[in-house]
Structure 1
Amino acid sequence: MAASRASLFLAGSSVTSASGTSRRNRCVSLSRRMAVSTEQVTSVVAMATTSLIENGTLSERKKGRKEESELILNVYSNPDEITQETRKTLKDYFQECRDLMIGSDGGPPRWFSPLECGSHTRDSPLFLFLPGIDGTGLGLITHHHKLGKIFDMWCLHIPVKDRTSFTDLVKLVEKTVRSEYQSSPDRPIYLVGESLGACIALDVAARNPDVDLVLILANPATSFSRSRLQSLIPLLELMPDQLVPNLSHVLNLLSGDPLRMAWENVVKGILPLQTIGKLSQDLVSMSSYLSVLADMLPRETLLWKLRMLKSASASANSHLHAVKVQSLLLSSGKDQLFPSQVEAQRLRHMLPKCEIREFKESGHFLLLEDSVDLVTNIKGASFYRHGKYLDYVSDYMPPTPYEFKKIFESNRWVIAATSPVMLSTLGNGKVVRGLAGIPSEGPVLCVGYHMLLGFELAPMVIQFLMERNILLRGIAHPMMFNRLREGKMLDLATFDTYRIMGAVPVSGPNFYKLMSSKSHVLLYPGGVREALHRKGEEYKLFWPEQPEFVRMASKFGAKIVPFGVVGEDDVGELVLDYNDQMQIPYLRTFIKELTEEVEQLRTDADGEVSNQDVHLPGVLPKLPGRFYYYFGKPIETEGRKQELRSREKSHEFYLQVKSEVERCMAYLKEKREKDPYRNLLPRLLYQATNGSTAEVPTFEL
């Protein structure tokens, strides 16, 4: 349970707009293509599976596991067969802006729900998108398909010729928020804004402290006073029309991705022919849509929007002290319009419940970039909830196939280098290769040994999904989810992937909910002390004296699967452990500061297991050996609830589980000596002969 990138799991009323539109008409249909669908979807995995089947990209292969007398289709079984998720493109953005937005009949700002955003469930939280300077409301078009499955999504459209002031836009959004809050007070409302929209969201949050709001702010325009856009206002006011193209020299916007190049031309006011040659292949192929940009922000509208940005920034900054709600900042590293990275750090220190996700290679309009997945970031930051408080069990959304594919690809080299051998035990005691011995029906509690820095986690959790369609929900250290204060600890974004894969903070209530929901749970009783062990302590258990998990497991009749893993000594050598670091004054101080930043566990425990000091061991990599996993025979607790209430009996049972974990490791340490493919070179030769995807043999069982 270490603080390491290598570790996966550490221990009724109407809404009225400016035009008087009622809630019944809130989702204005700008065309029949933007009507709200009534399709209801009940499962993220089911939806993703259906999408893959419709696209004809999903293998027909089914895993040989029966559950409720039916074969379950495992969408995770082969990540290489999973194609990119269905989503609209930048070309669609221009097309719909031209066909649906710019040519509309004008009028006041209004809400609409895109057609592809109508498949959410009835209890989905409300999602209000507040656009940036473009005002179209289509800034999330590449995310509509995924957002529409988990949110009740409305987008604000501000017509090109509309001149509603910033203050009135805030009042419009606030009126919608108040009305929806009164009709559904237990449902959170997400205010998602980019640049200008982010300022609107901040003002609405400041004015409504009693409403359960969640803010997601992309490159907020609160830094307008330090933006190069500010200098455009007097220039646009005074400069003759024929000189407007020369504004590019004032802006000095660097060439970059196609969208930044196109928007640079918007600010210029025209699209010079010589600029076209600098655009990427994608933008050139859709050159017929470039005029959309000039129509979207003609000179008069651009000047109006810039003035509005100035007032919006001033207003939002003056109200920051009153914003107390949960906030997620999305910050671009190559924003040519605002100093977004610096601004994100400033806002994090001013907003009490704020987290940052950085996109170092993205420009200002990051929500239109293919590499950015808003839903994945919301899930990874643990920002998705249905009620007032986040429930890590009931609010959890499993990874979509494509999310899993990205996680698999990021860990592919680890799996290839360690060529994991996974053994399990059937009900009759027979040891088999693979995970056939893992019970299909939960609750199941996998209890085992935590390797140094959690080296064993990624291959194990990935294999459970690929082979058995089982998601292991890890009981994790709170450091993955929150900080007592900001400091030197790894950024929380480091652990987003682990939360996507189902990690929950260690606590009695979370353990109870996982058991009651019949989940497959991963537990390391050794926690931080075991994962950050010292020299010579590999494969040694550091379990507490008290049988912490026995009674909870027996309460729900869970099957306990003890397991052992070995191989850390084949991939790395511990050269600078905790004891070494405590002898160095600087490192001793550093460890103390790190430890003070995170919540402490087992403060009432005795012995070594109570040492929860957080540090990063110095490890010298070796030529990769092989990882071995052995899952023992499941131990039943069904019908033993009364028996295990006895302190003596529960302790005896606890020691039995611990002994089984030690036996599993002893078995593996002995057997791996007879594995002809234990070292990397023989495995590479085998795969060179039999194919890179061939399963490498191991010792005889």
Structure 2
Amino acid sequence: MVSTTGTGAAFSVGGFSLPVPRHVTTPTNRKFRWSYSKSTVSPVFAAVESRQSIIHTESGPEILKDSPSGTIQNFEPEDGLLGLKDYFEQSGQLISRSDGGPPRWFSPLECGSRLKDSPLLLYLPGIDGVGLGLILHHERLGKMFDIWCLHIPVTDRTSFTDLVKLVESTVKLEYPRAPNSPIYLVGESLGACLALAVAARNPDIDLILILANPATSFKRSMLLQHILLPLSNMIPEQLRFRWPYVLSLLSGGPSKMVASTMGKGLPLQQVIGKLSQNSLAMSSYLSLDVLKSAAAFANSRLHAVKAQTLILSSGQDQLLPSKEEGERLHKLLPKCDIRTFDDSGHALFLEDGINLVSILTATSIYRRGRSHNYVLDYFPPTPSEFQRIHDPHRWVEAVTNPVFLSTVENGKIVRSLAGIPSEGPVLYVGYHMMLGLELIPMVSRMWTERKILLRGVAHPMMFTKLREGMLPSLSTFDTYRSMGAVPVSAANFFRLFSSKSHALLYPGGAREALHRKGEEYKLFWPEQSEFVRMAARFGAKIVPFGTVGEDDIGQLLLDYNDLRKIPYFKARIEELTDEAVKLRTDAIGEVANQDFHLPIVLPKIPGRFYFYFGKPIETEGRRQELKSKEKAHELYVEVKSEVEKCLDYLKEKRENDPYRNIFARLTYQATHGFDSEVPTFDI
């Protein structure tokens, strides 16, 4: 169907809109985001709200077919092959239906609706140039970003410097529209060079770079530099169009997908058939000479890059030495973080198990304003993402077989979490086991039984390092951030309660989690009532709880006091403590001792973990009353007393648990099934 209005044309390609040039008015009054390029290429724009597939060209808008709303609902692990198949199919259609140039932006329609004030994300493709490298992530990313993907037509010959100008002109046009929000440049391989070049030329614009396997390492690639580059110069130009597809196969991305899919029991013929469909269409203008010039251009300007950067490096990239390059750039760039995927190949975003939204959440790099808001900028995991996060830690629950008790409204204790309030805001206040061993089973059970996401109020060391040194890298704490942990602060308490969250607080902090010999189940709380009045301001329920069992799985061999007597360990403790952000600098007593150390623990034959959540304490309607420091302190003492009662109850009751020992539990499960609930003491 050809429209008679407007000055452009449109056609459909696999569920996305591909815009090219000039003012267009569609019959349905769709909204468009305009972006005018100041480079040698034409102006570009992207349709952002239509659920129909539209491509705009010179002769007017045309709608060829509707793309069903929600065509791709999610990318669960079992759908990995379909996502890759879609990549090949849509790339083939895009290449065969598009014209010869110039490069232009398109917005994937499967992205759907997004949050208010979502930042702009510009995806800069790698060696294929098609722009569909994020296809497995479009729908989930579409809730967080306004996504524009760069497409470089197959026969286009735009130079790398003109590509830089194109992206730069888009950034300069769009940034004034939302000056309080960053613009994200997500680039892989060649696209990463583009992102670095644009960032170097625009240090005053708030850019955030997400770089996957940057091609800045081109000179150190034996395969590209000494084998494929000389070979490509001997191949006729018409055959060079096949190089990007050949390189993508050499890079290990699709081959890993084949192995992953074969592991799911699909026939080899079916797997290869789906992957190879339309593969001959996977051509691009990109040559190895362009890749070489892109690397040289970006490397010469690294000193000027000031943007916040996250580098994603693959350990099995057969095309580029990406792991080493990531480490090099991490040292050179001033605001740079890095994550390494040891088993991944070059085509990182097309691999099964790689979830870009999870990566952005875990690294706290997603923000909609000038600074990151740990509450409002957080995206909770989907059920499948939670399973991927939890699976590596499932052994903790298998070994400790935890018992969960809670108190219902009439005061009765039940073996479940039925006594936990469903509606927030709720503040859980309790005892911190040695090294925080209780967190995994507690967060998991809250999620699976009550569909509640516990948002831990954590030490800032999990989010910020004063300098590089002996403290664990921030990546060590990615799991905590993925599950919603926030750094402790009054502002974050306010935000959590405002958003009716379920917040988890350990007033004893590091001192309690790193206690000494003989201090098991002893509370180290500050004198001040730090959280009570904030909870009362929002009418939050306070749930006191106790956790017991750390002494059933390990025995402290060398604690803080012992380590301080050994010169080597004393020096290490002082170094660790100096690297960490300081908390409670105005506190007195033992709670002020926040020295970081790793105690030496002697493992035991595993016992069992026990959790007891006391009756929720209401603060609704007590805001005026608890403005008084005396009244607030009384409630604070009450909460602390309730936590101690929970601990005493569990310590007494576990003595009567016939299945406290792991061998007794294994015997029971061998008889009744390993998925059966193991009994415990009488309540």
TM-score, scaled to structure 1: 0.83
**Which residue does the alignment assign to 1:203?**
197
Cα gap change, 1:238 to 1:461, in 2 (>3 Å): closer
Q: Distance in 2 between matches of 1:145 and 1:262?
A: 20
The residue matched to 2:187 in structure 1 has which SS?
strand
* Structure-to-structure mapping, 1:159-178, within 5 angstroms: 159-178=153-172
Select 1:505's aligned residue among 487, 497, 503.
Answer: 487
Output the amino acid matched with 1:473.
R
**Which residue does the alignment assign to 1:490?**
472
Does structure 2 conserve the Cα–Cα contact (< 8 Å) formed by 1:325 and 1:353? yes
Does structure 1 conserve the Cα–Cα contact (< 8 Å) formed by 2:100 and 2:156? yes
1:116 aligns with 2:102: no
Cα gap change, 1:84 to 1:30, in 2 (>3 Å): farther
Cα gap change, 1:149 to 1:13, in 2 (>3 Å): closer
**Which residue does the alignment assign to 1:218?**
212
The residue matched to 1:422 in structure 2 has which SS?
strand
1:306 aligns with 2:301: no
Does structure 1 conserve the Cα–Cα contact (< 8 Å) formed by 2:250 and 2:319? no
Q: Distance in 2 between matches of 1:18 and 1:36?
A: 33
Question: How many residues are treated as equivalent by the alignment?
Answer: 629
Does structure 2 conserve the Cα–Cα contact (< 8 Å) formed by 1:35 and 1:115? no
CA shift for structure 1 position 452: 0.1
**Which residue does the alignment assign to 1:231?**
226
Does structure 2 conserve the Cα–Cα contact (< 8 Å) formed by 1:34 and 1:113? no
**Which residue does the alignment assign to 1:23?**
45
**Which residue does the alignment assign to 2:271?**
285
Cα gap change, 1:294 to 1:373, in 2 (>3 Å): same
1:653 aligns with 2:635: yes
Q: Distance in 2 between matches of 1:33 and 1:25?
A: 13
Select 1:440's aligned residue among 418, 422, 428.
Answer: 422
Does structure 1 conserve the Cα–Cα contact (< 8 Å) formed by 2:47 and 2:107? no
CA shift for structure 1 position 358: 0.6
Q: Distance in 1 between matches of 2:177 and 2:56?
A: 26
Deviations 1:491-519 (A, max 9, x none): 21221111121100011100111112221
CA shift for structure 1 position 281: 7.0
The residue matched to 1:285 in structure 2 has which SS?
helix
1:633 aligns with 2:615: yes
CA shift for structure 1 position 290: 4.4
**Which residue does the alignment assign to 2:680?**
698
The residue matched to 1:180 in structure 2 has which SS?
helix
CA shift for structure 1 position 408: 3.0
Deviations 1:536-591 (A, max 9, x none): 11111111111111221122222111111100011111112112222222222222
The residue matched to 1:551 in structure 2 has which SS?
helix
Deviations 1:94-136 (A, max 9, x none): 2222222256322111111223223334432211110111111
The residue matched to 2:542 in structure 1 has which SS?
strand
The residue matched to 1:536 in structure 2 has which SS?
coil
Does structure 1 conserve the Cα–Cα contact (< 8 Å) formed by 2:42 and 2:102? no
Q: Which piece of structure 1 moves more, 393-402 or 181-190?
A: 181-190
Q: Distance in 2 between matches of 1:453 and 1:625?
A: 17
**Which residue does the alignment assign to 1:90?**
84
Cα gap change, 1:88 to 1:481, in 2 (>3 Å): farther
Q: Distance in 1 between matches of 2:232 and 2:79?
A: 45
Does structure 2 conserve the Cα–Cα contact (< 8 Å) formed by 1:15 and 1:23? yes
Does structure 2 conserve the Cα–Cα contact (< 8 Å) formed by 1:473 and 1:503? yes
CA shift for structure 1 position 402: 0.5
Q: Distance in 2 between matches of 1:397 and 1:288?
A: 33
The residue matched to 2:113 in structure 1 has which SS?
coil
Cα gap change, 1:688 to 1:233, in 2 (>3 Å): closer
CA shift for structure 1 position 415: 1.1
Q: Distance in 2 between matches of 1:348 and 1:663?
A: 49
Output the amino acid matched with 1:285.
V
CA shift for structure 1 position 232: 4.5
**Which residue does the alignment assign to 2:346?**
364
- Structure scoring higher RCO (CA < 8 A, sep ≥ 6) equals 1
* Structure-to-structure mapping, 1:25-174, within 5 angstroms: 29=55, 51=73, 84=78, 88-102=82-96, 104-174=98-168
- Any stretches of 5+ residues in structure 2 without a counterpart? 1-32, 259-265
Q: Distance in 2 between matches of 1:424 and 1:442?
A: 17
1:259 aligns with 2:259: no
TM-score, scaled to structure 2: 0.85
Deviations 1:374-401 (A, max 9, x none): 1111111112222221111111111111
Select 1:186's aligned residue among 180, 183, 193.
Answer: 180
* Structure-to-structure mapping, 1:242-641, within 5 angstroms: 257=252, 259=254, 285-287=271-273, 290=276, 296-297=282-283, 301=285, 305-641=287-623
Output the amino acid matched with 1:259.
P
Output the amino acid matched with 2:43.
T
The residue matched to 2:141 in structure 1 has which SS?
helix
Does structure 2 conserve the Cα–Cα contact (< 8 Å) formed by 1:131 and 1:194? yes
CA shift for structure 1 position 19: 4.2
Q: Distance in 1 between matches of 2:235 and 2:533?
A: 80
**Which residue does the alignment assign to 1:643?**
625
Q: Distance in 2 between matches of 1:675 and 1:432?
A: 16
Q: Which piece of structure 1 moves more, 479-488 or 589-598?
A: 589-598
Q: Distance in 1 between matches of 2:314 and 2:358?
A: 17
Output the amino acid matched with 2:608.
R
Q: Which piece of structure 1 moves more, 182-191 or 216-225?
A: 182-191
Output the amino acid matched with 1:409.
D
Q: Distance in 1 between matches of 2:444 and 2:157?
A: 53
Does structure 2 conserve the Cα–Cα contact (< 8 Å) formed by 1:529 and 1:608? yes
Q: Distance in 2 between matches of 1:464 and 1:677?
A: 23
Does structure 1 conserve the Cα–Cα contact (< 8 Å) formed by 2:92 and 2:279? no
Q: Which piece of structure 1 moves more, 552-561 or 446-455?
A: 552-561
CA shift for structure 1 position 262: 12
Output the amino acid matched with 2:536.
S
Q: Which piece of structure 1 moves more, 590-599 or 497-506?
A: 590-599
Deviations 1:627-667 (A, max 9, x none): 11111111122232233233333222222211111111011
Output the amino acid matched with 2:131.
G
Output the amino acid matched with 2:602.
L
Does structure 1 conserve the Cα–Cα contact (< 8 Å) formed by 2:44 and 2:105? no
Output the amino acid matched with 2:421.
P
Deviations 1:327-372 (A, max 9, x none): 1100011112222111111111222221111100111111111121
CA shift for structure 1 position 525: 0.4
- Any stretches of 5+ residues in structure 1 without a counterpart? 1-11, 41-46, 56-81, 264-279
Q: Distance in 1 between matches of 2:124 and 2:215?
A: 13
Cα gap change, 1:87 to 1:322, in 2 (>3 Å): farther
Cα gap change, 1:405 to 1:258, in 2 (>3 Å): closer
Q: Distance in 1 between matches of 2:47 and 2:598?
A: 57
Q: Which piece of structure 1 moves more, 653-662 or 163-172?
A: 653-662
The CA RMSD over aligned residues, in Å, is 3.2
Does structure 1 conserve the Cα–Cα contact (< 8 Å) formed by 2:430 and 2:544? yes
The residue matched to 1:636 in structure 2 has which SS?
coil
Deviations 1:69-117 (A, max 9, x none): xxxxxxxxxxxxx975688432222222222225632211111122322
The residue matched to 2:601 in structure 1 has which SS?
strand
Output the amino acid matched with 2:387.
K
Cα gap change, 1:381 to 1:38, in 2 (>3 Å): farther
The residue matched to 1:562 in structure 2 has which SS?
strand
